[in-house]
Structure 1
């Protein structure tokens, strides 16, 4: 049976000249509505008016995912260009400026509750929904996926710059998102009743107002029969996203198969998982990662190889092994989004970075002198 998957991606809206965020969601939405390649519900607003989100239909293959992402990014790129801006596929805003919250009651309430956090939520993720048979299966898979989440963070890292300067982190998005009260790696649960009881207790504290504010890096969806993996920065290129979607689907299906066969979930103490997650966000694939199987530090490439070995049977069943392996080899050889961003800045400064960030949407040529208004430490 084919396990279906869907992908959501968030992008920034940047001024075509300066590269600073611009509050043009309404204009971009109107332009997107005129694009014949887009249908209703595929382009949605986000927390801040300089962001936009797309969602693929439910897909049965990686080819489908790739086709939809290219279609959606390309059409949205055209819509953004009509309003004088570009979409940027990066995990964090390279430059910051005042951006109002989207006019939605829930978002206004969040602004009242955590004003500075909302103001600085200029981060963009890639969420992968993988079909699960039921709620019990979702929790069983979550428990077995947990140890591998830091490896996903490192492989998907695409946010080294923030507010005009380097952060020293491969995934600054992971750090910013981790400031919310219920975020980061999820705890383990005894089953769906335990999950419901403990999340209800969180709601009773009043610290979060609804289940949508459960921002763990993996969680059962409240809307769909899926497990949602939220640990990934949005990717520079559609094919990078396809590689990660293939990894995530294989990781979840491997977890479901292990649970069905009666295998126990691997131990992953919360404090060690939190530390591994921080290290992954800090270094990406540039150094050592915490080995989720043996513990301790190992070179990142070896830990990624362990992940691929872990999910290889699932990738073979869907005929995705060669494609995903090639994508992983490309990350290791040519660099993750974070590494490619750094190289762009070293080679051509701000202008080269903005070119790179726009290329994933089909490319949007900069006018002469673009980026000149972005005085920064990016080179």
Structure 2
């Protein structure tokens, strides 16, 4: 791509939906990570449909990514994910493996992991060295179709106001290599160390984004648009905004809730633009502080909610937004899924549940309480 090359946004005629769910392979006996993705992929039996759901490899061979096709509703996306996960289980059950998902594995370490055979992955690790070798992290990515390139950056910039809500709800990475980090989402802090990862710049016009990408290409920071690994980013080829905020989600129930929340937020903001209203934004330093607060404190975070610096408990602000989004959820046929969102704070987010298991196992004299945490993640994934 030269400096004169445009980045064409392949606009979506309707607010379609796509989900990418990174799931983790663990040994049934030890509960440690298992670099068995190649064997699982080779044995998988899924319909050969380029436009349909699929399972793909990832950076590490302990991971497979479950990807939907283009969907219209959260229910459709969830059905595809469930079907693909069932196909994976038929293979992993025979291989003595379990499937889990969280932002991090409680006690896994990189030195024991195998990297997928791909020149892009080899180049990433060669460049990023120690930080790249720490990428034992997993997440959920949600794509929502947008019908005009002129809406993409305004929606993206305002979605940053909702970053802490999504991160607090999905936080599932309190442990790192056997240690409690004190964070609800340690994954978010690890991933942002990579070049071009982390929070996006708040560009006002599409041309500014094109200029940024050109500069990154000319200076060798990236080789292609996919190397821009922002937490929220445009996906021009697909005609979507891709929300990559969420930690790996341990259950399909929580995944349905978070997907519905993202879908409703994007469509709500689109509707505000259609009505001629300007979307609210916050200074980058407020956005950055909110990311840190929600990563550190999760559902107990006091977040900044507007450019004036007003603060609220993240769950209080979330409650108001869920009420505001009810009409949007009805139009998108995801009322049931959006109603699952309050259940996450009520039952405890994953980081809270993991710590509760660890404390209970430790109090009961377990020799390996972090293995008990993985046991709980295995059970949650199976129960859904």
SS of alignment partner, residue 246 of structure 2: strand
Q: Give 1:211 deviation, angstroms.
A: 1.8
The residue number in structure 2 matching 1:358 is: 378
C-alpha separation in 2, matches of 1:259 and 1:54: 33
C-alpha separation in 1, matches of 2:65 and 2:309: 36
Of 300, 317, 322, which residue of structure 2 is paired with 1:308? 322
Moved more, 347-356 or 61-70: 347-356
Please tell me whether residue 341 in structure 1 is matched to residue 361 in structure 2.
no
**Could you tell me whether the CA contact under 8 Å between 1:32 and 1:38 is conserved in 2?**
no
The residue number in structure 2 matching 1:28 is: 40
The residue number in structure 2 matching 1:90 is: 102
Which runs of 5 or more residues in structure 2 are unaligned?
1-12, 362-368
Tell me the TM-score normalized by structure 2.
0.87
The residue number in structure 1 matching 2:7 is: none
C-alpha separation in 2, matches of 1:319 and 1:103: 41
Within-5 A mapping of 1:63-78: 63-78=75-90
Please tell me whether residue 107 in structure 1 is matched to residue 107 in structure 2.
no
Within-5 A mapping of 1:234-245: 234-245=248-259
C-alpha separation in 2, matches of 1:360 and 1:8: 19
The residue number in structure 2 matching 1:147 is: 161
Of 137, 140, 154, which residue of structure 2 is paired with 1:123? 137
**Could you tell me whether the CA contact under 8 Å between 2:106 and 2:370 is conserved in 1?**
no
SS of alignment partner, residue 341 of structure 2: helix
Q: Give 1:310 deviation, angstroms.
A: 4.2
The residue number in structure 2 matching 1:56 is: 68
The residue number in structure 2 matching 1:182 is: 196
Please tell me whether residue 260 in structure 1 is matched to residue 274 in structure 2.
yes
Of 281, 288, 298, which residue of structure 2 is paired with 1:274? 288
C-alpha separation in 2, matches of 1:13 and 1:335: 24
C-alpha separation in 1, matches of 2:261 and 2:299: 16
Please tell me whether residue 330 in structure 1 is matched to residue 343 in structure 2.
yes
The residue number in structure 1 matching 2:184 is: 170
The residue number in structure 1 matching 2:23 is: 11
SS of alignment partner, residue 228 of structure 1: strand
**Could you tell me whether the CA contact under 8 Å between 2:145 and 2:240 is conserved in 1?**
yes
Of 228, 238, 241, which residue of structure 2 is paired with 1:224? 238
Closer/same/farther in 2, CA of residues 239 and 363 from structure 1, 3 Å limit: closer
Moved more, 64-73 or 172-181: 64-73
C-alpha separation in 2, matches of 1:146 and 1:324: 20
C-alpha separation in 2, matches of 1:310 and 1:282: 27
C-alpha separation in 1, matches of 2:311 and 2:151: 31
Q: How many residues align?
A: 361
Closer/same/farther in 2, CA of residues 308 and 63 from structure 1, 3 Å limit: same
SS of alignment partner, residue 303 of structure 2: strand
**Could you tell me whether the CA contact under 8 Å between 1:74 and 1:361 is conserved in 2?**
no
RMSD across aligned C-alpha pairs, in angstroms?
Answer: 2.2
Deviations 1:13-42 (Å, cap 9, x if unpaired)?
A: 222222222211111111223xx5886771
C-alpha separation in 1, matches of 2:74 and 2:307: 28
C-alpha separation in 1, matches of 2:63 and 2:227: 18
Deviations 1:279-335 (Å, cap 9, x if unpaired)?
A: 11111103423324763432222121233244333223224335412x122112101
**Could you tell me whether the CA contact under 8 Å between 2:56 and 2:64 is conserved in 1?**
yes
The residue number in structure 2 matching 1:376 is: none
**Could you tell me whether the CA contact under 8 Å between 1:101 and 1:111 is conserved in 2?**
no
Closer/same/farther in 2, CA of residues 83 and 322 from structure 1, 3 Å limit: closer
C-alpha separation in 2, matches of 1:352 and 1:342: 11
**Could you tell me whether the CA contact under 8 Å between 1:38 and 1:75 is conserved in 2?**
no
Q: Give 1:125 deviation, angstroms.
A: 0.6
